């Protein structure tokens, strides 16, 4: 994902916000609402839009992974899978925010591309 438009500090801040806004999940709010809000608010900025879509795709993917892991608790596999999904989600959100603060185009691993 290459952005050819010059980026401003404001773009970097919004891109960081797109990634970190997923942490609202720690308060019981669905993690995809934050990146979706940034995407809708900053549609005119190509860098922010690309990073918000990336964060949104990642959070949708990890919501699915988390639901599958939660259901798999019934099979006892989820007791390992669910914490692994949660820790991986948290670490990757922080890594993506750090990359966005440097103006890098970050692509999350393990992400299903729902929104292009």
- Which whole number is the average pLDDT over 15-31? 94
pTM of the model as a whole:
0.88
Greatest CA span in the chain, whole angstroms?
50
- Which whole number is the average pLDDT over 64-78? 90
Could you give the percent of the chain with pLDDT greater than 90? 84
- Judge whether residue 96 has pLDDT over 50: yes
Q: What is the pLDDT of residue 3?
A: 44
| Distance (Å, whole) CA 29 – CA 58 | 16
- Judge whether residue 56 has pLDDT over 80: yes
């Amino acid at each position: 994902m290459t952005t050819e438009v010059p980026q401003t500090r404001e773009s970097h801040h919004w891109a960081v916000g797109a990634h970190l806004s997923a942490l609202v999940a720690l308060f019981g709010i669905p993690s995809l609402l934050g990146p979706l809000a940034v995407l809708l608010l900053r549609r005119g900025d190509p860098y922010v839009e690309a990073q918000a879509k990336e964060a949104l795709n990642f959070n949708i993917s990890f919501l699915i992974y988390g639901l599958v892991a939660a259901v798999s608790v019934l099979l006892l596999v989820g007791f390992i899978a669910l914490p692994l999904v949660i820790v991986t989600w948290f670490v990757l959100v922080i890594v993506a925010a750090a990359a966005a603060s440097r103006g890098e185009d970050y692509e999350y691993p393990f992400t299903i591309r729902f929104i292009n």
